[in-house]
Structure 1
Amino acid sequence: MRAAELLQNRRAAAQIEVRDAVGNLLADGDQVTLIKDLDVKGAGQTLKRGTLIKSIRLTGDQQEIDCKYEGIKGLVLRAEFVRKR
């Protein structure tokens, strides 16, 4: 991704409100907990309910958040399956 595209995505993310499953407003750097067991496509593993995901990033999409979890690259979660911690 070029620098201009990255800047544009960050500006778009700042304008969109992303809310978790219970309605809490999410922001970059928040910690979230999974509220449902999720099968991760391509990774061959399941993230269990209650798993803590640290330091999320907003993507500019109202329902998707980008995050890191050990052993899984490029993990994108739907906001409806997480709760702000």
Structure 2
Amino acid sequence: MEPVVIISLLGALIFLLLIVGAPMKPLRWLGQGAVKLLIGALLLFFLNAFGSMFGYSLPINGFTAAVSGFLGIPGLVALVFADLLLIS
């Protein structure tokens, strides 16, 4: 094969990957965000299941699921402290 053909094919492949790969990144971010929201909702569910033995519950909504999902256990602890200190 001639070098011009190889360089043209590589250039076309790079261009194709740029065109096809560009829309995939925002979808990946949306997917990761949705997974984190689900994990946060599960953390809140288990907190409410365990807290029901002590008469404690924390509402499961979009904000609390986002905080506990994106921040993890420290976010869940912060929500509990905020609920106990500020709201109650």
TM-score by length of 1: 0.25
Which structure features the higher share of helix residues? 2
Task: Please identify which structure carries the higher strand content.
Answer: 1
Query: How does the TM-score come out when normalised to structure 2?
Result: 0.24
For the pair shown, the structure with the greater C-alpha radius of gyration is: 2
